[in-house]
């Protein structure tokens, strides 16, 4: 039997990292920009981000959070106010020191020594400090609380090892920042945002996640508590897909965010922050992609259906295009997943088979190929991108009557959304080991010959201080990290394999991006 034909030259099994890069290139998601660690996001990739942004923004606003915008440049002095926070980001900060260049006399340019800034400016790595400064002005009384803000922006963190969408020097994100009168209100907001991210990942992204609290060593710099959603990629590694942070009163004290309570006394606010980024796109690729390229969940697909007329550059093309346009209008009048169906009629010149492979690699949920015979017979040929391919591409198409397909398109789109989630959840659940009871067993499970070892669930004694540092060394030796303690985990039992003490909670460990 001959080998199966695929659209990509690299399979996931052969080289997952190379496969990932090839999907991004062949699906025309993004490309190198000429600046290390920065990428050009191409229309298809940015179209997916626009869908994510719109759907997430609707959820953010529904919670009463208002959008605003803060400067890209932040005075270094703002970071100096919060020592623990700045220490966590210091190695990744890009700093502006001059505001003008001059000729160097050798055909190049150098910073003008006379244009040195009085105070260096940090290129935004995160916005707690600058937003905290604004909150200190905006909050005066208990009546001003809670203060709920969000911004959509770009962020710069000078990463040493970069990979498109997963870890780049510049990336796009949203960052929510809120201030509250007390711990209870701030914790409620922190957990609300966590649940919003969990629902979003498992809904529009069709990406199953574990939501829970991060251990002490994985907290956001300066936070009292950090929570995350963790997704398993097809190679068994974990991806931190979103985080929320209860910041306590530390940031408020540093920035002077305080309010007069009902009794006239001054109180510090309790603050939170939470965010997701273009890393979600990397997660979608590694969760749903196959050996033919990307598979986009319909809810975030810029086009849910692409119609490919098999044009022949003759007199019959006009009638064929009219038939395809009739189908397009019929589909656009339908709704799926709470929105009108998004349809593209691809009229570009060229062979339909070549265009087909382009859309296959981009992962369009439904692809229609329509030729003269289909039009004459009132039919369409339908390809569902979530289904597996065989050697002959045409065998993957299913013939349906035009009217039948238009009438059932909404149901089929929703079925693809469900199918992708259920497939990803089954893969994850099959690669979680529920309990390992010794370090020897853990080392064996994550041995060097294990390519896709998945995640392990352990009992954890919640070590701190020097004891925690020793545990982290043990994990690093195995190239492992703690992920989170699931919010819905069963009560812990038994002994922690790291400390020998009774386990007080359940935690996941895994290799991670």
Using only C-alpha atoms, what is the Rg of the chain? 26
Q: Which residues have C-beta within 8 Å of that of residue 402, sequence separation ≥ 6? A: 327, 378, 379, 380
Q: What is the pLDDT of residue 351?
A: 82
Query: What CATH class does 432-510 carry?
Result: alpha beta
- Using alpha carbons, select from 363, 420, 353, 366 the residue that is nearest to residue 393: 353
Q: What is the pLDDT of residue 395?
A: 55
For residue 4 the two structure tokens come to: 């199966």
Q: Is the peptide bond before 146 cis (omega within 30 degrees of 0)?
A: yes
Q: 222: buried, middle or exposed (CB in 10 Å: 19+, 13-18, 0-12)?
A: buried
* HEC letters along 396-465: HCEEEEHHHHHHHHHHHHHHHHHHHHHHHHHHHHHCEECCCCCHHHHHHHCCCCCCCCCEEEEEECCCCH
How far is C-alpha 440 from the geometric centre of its chain's CA atoms? 34
For 329, the 3-state DSSP assignment is: helix
Q: What is the pLDDT of residue 19?
A: 98
| CA 309 – CA 319 distance, rounded (Å) | 11
| CA 172 – CA 93 distance, rounded (Å) | 16
The widest CA-to-CA distance across the chain, in whole angstroms, is: 83
Per the DSSP assignment, residues forming a β-bridge with 178 are 148, 272
Q: Could you give the angle at the alpha carbon of 75 between the alpha carbons of 73 and 79, nearest 5°? A: 110
Q: How many CB atoms lie within 10 A of CB 54?
A: 12
- φ, ψ dihedrals at 410, nearest 5°: -60, -45
Q: Which residues have C-beta within 8 Å of that of residue 147, sequence separation ≥ 6? A: 135, 138, 139, 178, 179, 269
Q: Are strands 147-156 and 66-67 parallel, antiparallel or unpaired?
A: parallel
Give domain 16-95+126-288's CATH number out of 3.40.190.10, 1.10.274.30, 3.30.930.10, 3.40.220.10.
3.30.930.10
| CA 163 – CA 124 distance, rounded (Å) | 20
| CA 50 – CA 52 distance, rounded (Å) | 5
Domain boundaries, the chain: 16-95+126-288, 303-414, 432-510
Q: Is the domain 303-414 a CATH 3.90.1170.50 member?
A: no
How far is C-alpha 341 from the geometric centre of its chain's CA atoms? 24
For residue 327 the two structure tokens come to: 């189908």
| CA 345 – CA 329 distance, rounded (Å) | 10
Q: How many CB atoms lie within 10 A of CB 187?
A: 16
- Using alpha carbons, select from 89, 373, 175, 142 the residue that is nearest to residue 266: 142
Mean pLDDT by 10 residues, the chain (513 residues): 68 96 98 94 98 98 98 92 74 93 94 95 94 97 98 93 94 98 98 98 98 95 96 97 97 96 98 98 98 97 97 90 97 97 94 88 96 95 83 69 97 98 97 89 83 89 93 94 93 91 95 95
- Using alpha carbons, select from 3, 2, 21 the residue that is nearest to residue 12: 21
| CA 282 – CA 262 distance, rounded (Å) | 48
Q: Which residues have C-beta within 8 Å of that of residue 393, sequence separation ≥ 6? A: 5, 353, 356, 357
Contact 357, 9 (CB under 8 A): no
Q: Which residue has the tokens 């991004």?
A: 24
Q: What is the pLDDT of residue 82?
A: 73
Q: What is the pLDDT of residue 2?
A: 39
Cα dihedral sign, 209-213-215-221 = positive
- The answer to whether the predicted template modeling score (pTM) of the entire model surpasses 0.85 is yes
| CA 74 – CA 70 distance, rounded (Å) | 9
Q: What is the pLDDT of residue 388?
A: 63
Q: What is the pLDDT of residue 1?
A: 32
């Amino acid at each position: 039997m001959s080998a199966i034909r695929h659209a990509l030259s690299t399979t996931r099994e052969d080289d997952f990292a190379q496969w990932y890069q090839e999907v991004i290139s062949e699906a025309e998601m993004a490309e190198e920009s000429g600046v290390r660690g920065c990428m050009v996001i191409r229309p298809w990739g940015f179209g997916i981000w626009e869908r994510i942004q719109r759907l997430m923004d609707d959820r953010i606003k529904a919670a009463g959070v208002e959008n605003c915008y803060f400067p890209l440049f932040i005075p270094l002095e703002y970071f100096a106010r919060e020592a623990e926070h700045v220490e966590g980001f210091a190695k990744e900060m890009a700093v502006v020191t001059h505001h003008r260049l001059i000729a160097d006399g050798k055909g190049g340019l150098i910073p003008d020594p006379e244009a040195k800034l009085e105070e260096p400016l940090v290129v935004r790595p995160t916005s707690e400090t600058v937003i905290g400064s604004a909150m200190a002005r905006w909050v005066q009384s208990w009546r001003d609380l809670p203060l709920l803000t969000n911004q959509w922006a770009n962020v710069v963190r000078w990463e040493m090892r970069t990979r498109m969408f997963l870890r780049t020097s510049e990336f796009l994100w949203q960052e929510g920042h809120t201030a509250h009168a007390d711990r209870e209100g701030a914790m409620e907001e922190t957990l609300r945002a966590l649940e919003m991210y969990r629902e979003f990942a498992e809904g529009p992204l069709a990406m199953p996640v574990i939501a829970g609290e991060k251990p002490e060593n994985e907290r956001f710099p300066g936070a009292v508590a950090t929570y995350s959603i963790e997704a398993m990629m097809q190679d068994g590694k974990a991806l931190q897909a979103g985080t929320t942070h209860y910041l306590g009163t530390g940031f408020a004290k540093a920035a002077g965010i305080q309010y007069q309570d009902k009794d006239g006394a001054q109180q510090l606010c309790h603050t939170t922050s939470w965010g997701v980024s273009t890393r979600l796109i990397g997660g979608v690729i590694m969760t749903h992609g196959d050996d033919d390229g990307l598979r986009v969940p319909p809810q975030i697909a810029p086009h849910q259906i692409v119609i490919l007329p098999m044009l022949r550059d003759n007199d019959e093309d006009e009638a064929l295009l009219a038939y395809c346009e009739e189908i397009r209008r019929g589909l656009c009048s339908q709704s799926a997943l709470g929105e009108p169906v998004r349809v593209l009629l691809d009229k570009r010149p060229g062979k339909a088979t070549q265009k087909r492979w382009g859309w296959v690699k981009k992962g369009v949920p439904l692809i229609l190929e329509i030729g003269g015979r289909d039009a004459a017979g009132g039919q369409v040929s339908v390809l569902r991108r979530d289904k597996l391919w065989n050697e002959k591409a045409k065998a993957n198409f299913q013939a349906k009557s035009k009217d039948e397909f238009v009438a059932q398109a909404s149901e089929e789109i929703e079925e693809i959304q469900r199918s992708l989630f259920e497939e990803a959840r089954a893969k994850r659940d099959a690669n979680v080991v529920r309990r390992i009871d010794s370090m020897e067993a853990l080392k064996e499970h994550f041995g060097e010959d294990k390519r896709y070892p998945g995640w392990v669930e352990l009992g954890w004694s919640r070590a701190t201080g020097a004891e925690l540092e020793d545990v982290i060394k043990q994990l690093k030796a195995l190239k492992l990290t703690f992920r989170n303690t699931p919010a819905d985990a069963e009560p812990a039992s038994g002994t922690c394999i790291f400390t020998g003490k009774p386990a007080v909670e359940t935690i996941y460990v895994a290799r991670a991006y």
